Amino acid sequence: MSPEATSTTKIETTVELPVSSDSIMTKKGPQYWRSLDELLGKQEIDALVHREFPAQVSDVLDPVGRRNFLKVMGASMMLAGLSSCARQPDEKIVPYIKPPEYAVPGKANYYATAVAENGYGMGVVATSFEGRPTKYEGLREHPASLGATNATTQAAILDMYDPDRLDTVLNEGDISTWKSFITAVAKGLNGIDTKGGAGLRILSGTVTSPTFGWQFQRLQALYPEARWHQFTPLNKDNVKAGAELAFGRIVDQVIDFTQAAVVLSLDSNFLHEGPAAVRYARDYALSRDFENNGGRMSRLYALESSPTGTGAQADHRVTVRYPGVETFARTVAARLGIAGCEAAAGAVTGVSDAWLNAVVEDLQANRGKAIVVAGPQQPAAVHALAHAINAQTGAVEAGTISYIEPVEVQPTLHGASLASLVADMNSGAVQILVILGGNPVYDTPADINFADAMTKVALCAHLTSARNETTRLCHWAVPQNHSLECWSDIRAYDGTTSLIQPLILPLYAGKSAHDVLNVLLGEDEIDDLNTVQAAWMAKRGAEGFPAFWKQALATGIITGTASPKATVQHKLQFPAHVPVEKPAGLDIVFLPDPTIGDGARANNAWLQELPKPLTNLTWDNAVHINPRTARTLHLQHEDEVIVEFGGKEVKAAVMMQFGHPQNAITVHLGYGRTHCGAVGAGLGFNAYALQQSASPWFGTNASLRKTGNTYVLARTEEHYNIEQSQIEQGRKAADRHLVREAALDHFKEHPDFAQHVAHEPSEDFTLYDPAEKKYDGYNWGMSIDLNKCTGCGVCVVACQSENNTAVVGKDQVLLGREMQWIRVDRYYRAGDDGTFDGDVAAVHQPVPCMQCENAPCEPVCPVGATMHSEEGLNDMVYNRCVGTRYCANNCPYKVRRFNFFKYSDHGAEQLKMMRNPNVTVRSRGVMEKCTYCVQRINIARIDAKREGRDVREGEIVTACQAACPSTAIVFGNIADPNSAVARQKASKRNYGLIADVGTRPRTTYLAKLNNPSPALQTAHSGAADNSHQSEH
Amino acid sequence: MEARIKTVPPVLKAVAPLMEDGHSHESISRAVSDVVLEMPMPRPWYATISVGLILLSILGISTAILFWEGLGLWGINNPVGWGFAIVNLVWWIGIGHAGTLISAILLLFNQDWRTAINRFAEAMTLFAVMCAGIFPLLHVGRPWAIFFILPYPNTMALWPQFRSPLLWDVFAISTYFTVSLLFWYTGLIPDLATLRDRMPKGIARSIYGFFALGWRGSARHWFRYEMAYILLGGMSAPLVVSVHTIVSFDFAVSVIPGWHTTIFPPYFVAGAIYSGFAMVLTIMIPAREWFGMKDFITLRHLDNMAKVMLATGLVVCYGYGCELFFAWYSGSDYERTMMWYRGFESPFAWVYLCLLLCNLVTPQFLWIKWMRITPIPLFIISIIVNIGMWLERFVIVVTSLRRDYLPSSWGTYTPTIFDWAAYIGSIGLFLTMMCLFVKFLPMISIFELRLQHHLMKRGEIR
**Measured distance CA(A217)–CA(A222) in Å, rounded:** 9
* Distance (Å) from the alpha carbon of A904 to chain B's nearest alpha carbon: 13
- Closest by CA position to A483, among listed A502, A466, A498, A497: A502
Q: Assess whether pLDDT exceeds 80 at residue A1030.
A: no
**Measured distance CA(A629)–CA(A631) in Å, rounded:** 5
- Contacts of residue B253 in chain A, CB cutoff 8 Å? 859-860
Q: Is residue A498 part of a domain?
A: no
Residue A480, pLDDT score: 92
- Contacts of residue B158 in chain A, CB cutoff 8 Å? 864, 880
Q: Is residue B1 part of a domain?
A: no
* HEC profile of chain B: CHHHHCCCCCCCCCCCCCCCCCCCHHHHHHHHHHHHHCCCCCHHHHHHHHHHHHHHHHHHHHHHHHHHHCHHHCCCCCCCCCCHHHHHHHHHHHHHHHHHHHHHHHHHCCCHHHCCCHHHHHHHHHHHHHHHHHHHHHHCCCHHHHHHHCCCCCCCCCCCCCCCHHHHHHHHHHHHHHHHHHHHHHHHHHHHHHHHHHCCCCHHHHHHHHHCCCCCCCHHHHHHHHHHHHHHHHHHHHHHHHHHHHHHHHHHCCCCCCCCCCCHHHHHHHHHHHHHHHHHHHHHHHHHHHCCCCCCCCHHHHHHHHHHHHHHHHHHHHHHHHHHHHHHHCCCHHHHHHHHHHHHHCCCHHHHHHHHHHHHHHHHHHHCHHHHHCHHHHHHHHHHHHHHHHHHHHHHHHHHHHCCCCHHHCCCCCCCHHHHHHHHHHHHHHHHHHHHHHHHCCCCCHHHHHHHHHHHHCCCCC
ipTM of the complex: 0.91
The answer to whether B104 touches B240, Cβ cutoff 8 Å, is yes
Q: Assess whether pLDDT exceeds 70 at residue A49.
A: no
Residue A1018, pLDDT score: 52
* Distance (Å) from the alpha carbon of A897 to chain B's nearest alpha carbon: 7
**Measured distance CA(A188)–CA(A170) in Å, rounded:** 17
Which residue on chain B is closest to A733 by alpha carbon?
B407
Dump strand ranges (E) for A356-414. Answer: 370-374, 401-404
Q: Assess whether pLDDT exceeds 80 at residue A747.
A: yes
Give residue B187's Cα distance to chain centre.
18
Q: How many domains does chain A have?
A: 4
Residue A40, pLDDT score: 56
A820 lies in the same domain as A779? yes
- Helix (H/G/I), strand (E/B), else coil: A926: coil
A743 lies in the same domain as A704? no
**Average confidence (pLDDT) over A849-877:** 91
Q: What is the pLDDT of residues A522-566, one digit of tens each?
A: 888 888 899 999 999 988 888 888 999 988 988 989 988 989 998
Q: What is the pLDDT of residues A958-1015, one digit of tens each?
A: 999 999 999 999 999 998 999 999 999 999 899 999 988 888 899 999 999 989 888 8
Q: What is the pLDDT of residues A295-318, one digit of tens each?
A: 889 999 999 999 998 988 888 888
Which residue on chain B is closest to A861 by alpha carbon?
B164
Q: What is the DSSP letter of A112?
A: E
Is B142–A901 a contact, with Cβ atoms under 8 angstroms apart?
no
**Average confidence (pLDDT) over A573-584:** 75
Is B78–A816 a contact, with Cβ atoms under 8 angstroms apart?
yes
Write out the residue range of the structural domain in which residue A964 sits: 723-1031
Write out the residue range of the structural domain in which residue B167 sits: 20-177+239-445
Q: Is residue A156 part of a domain?
A: no
Q: Assess whether pLDDT exceeds 60 at residue A16.
A: no
Of A382, A404, A426, which residue constitutes the final position of a domain? Answer: A404
pLDDT band at A804 (very low <50, low <70, confident <90, very high): very high
Q: Count how many residues are written for chain A.
A: 1032
A677 lies in the same domain as A803? no
Optimal mutation site among B408, B414, B416, B418, interface A, most CBs of chain A within 10 A: B408
Q: Residues with Cβ < 8 Å from A5, sequence gap 6 or more?
A: A33, A34, A35, A36
Is A729–B255 a contact, with Cβ atoms under 8 angstroms apart?
no
Q: Is residue B210 part of a domain?
A: no
* Count of CA atoms in the C-beta half-sphere (13 A) of A240: 17
In terms of C-beta density within 10 A (0-12 exposed, 13-18 middle, 19 or more buried), how is residue A959 classed?
A: buried
CA quadruple A482, A485, A490, A496: dihedral positive or negative?
positive
Of A28, A52, A70, which residue constitutes the final position of a domain? Answer: A70
- CATH code: domain of residue A644: 2.40.40.20
Is B255–A864 a contact, with Cβ atoms under 8 angstroms apart?
no
Residue B202, pLDDT score: 86
User: Which has the minimum average pLDDT: A269-273, A351-355, A476-480, A853-857?
Assistant: A351-355
Q: Is residue B82 part of a domain?
A: yes
Is B148–A863 a contact, with Cβ atoms under 8 angstroms apart?
yes
The answer to whether A244 touches A568, Cβ cutoff 8 Å, is no
A696 lies in the same domain as A736? no
Q: Is residue B370 part of a domain?
A: yes
In terms of C-beta density within 10 A (0-12 exposed, 13-18 middle, 19 or more buried), how is residue A94 classed?
A: exposed
pLDDT band at B63 (very low <50, low <70, confident <90, very high): very high
A-B CB pairs within 8 A amount to 170
A702 lies in the same domain as A729? no
Q: Is residue B244 part of a domain?
A: yes
A667 lies in the same domain as A737? no
- Contacts of residue B139 in chain A, CB cutoff 8 Å? 884
The answer to whether A262 touches A371, Cβ cutoff 8 Å, is yes
A879 lies in the same domain as A730? yes
Q: What is the pLDDT of residues A947-970, one digit of tens each?
A: 999 999 889 999 999 999 999 999
Q: How many domains does chain B have?
A: 1
Q: Is residue A532 part of a domain?
A: no
Q: What is the DSSP letter of A547?
A: H
- Closest by CA position to A700, among listed A572, A812, A588: A588
Residue A876, pLDDT score: 92
* Distance (Å) from the alpha carbon of A218 to chain B's nearest alpha carbon: 57
Of A70, A92, A120, which residue constitutes the final position of a domain? Answer: A70
**B157 contact A CB<8A:** no
Whole-number average pLDDT of chain A? 85
Higher pLDDT, A646 or B462: A646
- The angle formed by the CA atoms of residues A541, A546 and A549, to the nearest 5 degrees, is 85
Q: What is the pLDDT of residues A473-487, one digit of tens each?
A: 999 999 999 999 999
A621 lies in the same domain as A761? no
A779 lies in the same domain as A680? no
**B152 contact A CB<8A:** no
Is B148–A736 a contact, with Cβ atoms under 8 angstroms apart?
no
Q: Is residue B229 part of a domain?
A: no
A668 lies in the same domain as A785? no
Q: Assess whether pLDDT exceeds 90 at residue A585.
A: no
Q: Is residue A220 part of a domain?
A: no
A665 lies in the same domain as A787? no
Give the pTM: 0.86
The answer to whether B98 touches B389, Cβ cutoff 8 Å, is no
pLDDT band at A77 (very low <50, low <70, confident <90, very high): very low
Q: Assess whether pLDDT exceeds 50 at residue A19.
A: no
Q: What is the DSSP letter of A677?
A: -
The answer to whether A729 touches B410, Cβ cutoff 8 Å, is yes
- The overall longest dimension of chain A from CA atoms, in Å, is 104
Q: Assess whether pLDDT exceeds 70 at residue B312.
A: yes
Which residue on chain B is closest to A892 by alpha carbon?
B405
- Contacts of residue A880 in chain B, CB cutoff 8 Å? 148, 158
Q: What is the pLDDT of residues B138-147, one digit of tens each?
A: 999 999 999 9
Whole-number average pLDDT of chain B? 88
Q: Give the β-pairing of A698-710 and A639-645.
A: antiparallel
Q: Is residue B212 part of a domain?
A: no
- CATH code: domain of residue A386: 3.40.228.10
Q: What is the DSSP letter of A734?
A: H
Q: Is residue A874 part of a domain?
A: yes
Residue A1031, pLDDT score: 37
User: Which has the minimum average pLDDT: A125-134, A534-543, B333-342, B447-456?
Assistant: B447-456
Q: Is residue A841 part of a domain?
A: yes
Is B406–A720 a contact, with Cβ atoms under 8 angstroms apart?
no
- Contacts of residue B149 in chain A, CB cutoff 8 Å? 862-863, 882
A658 lies in the same domain as A679? yes
Q: Assess whether pLDDT exceeds 50 at residue B79.
A: yes
- CATH code: domain of residue B295: 1.20.1630.10
Q: Residues with Cβ < 8 Å from B204, sequence gap 6 or more?
A: none
pLDDT band at A90 (very low <50, low <70, confident <90, very high): low
Q: Is residue A552 part of a domain?
A: no
The answer to whether A503 touches A523, Cβ cutoff 8 Å, is no
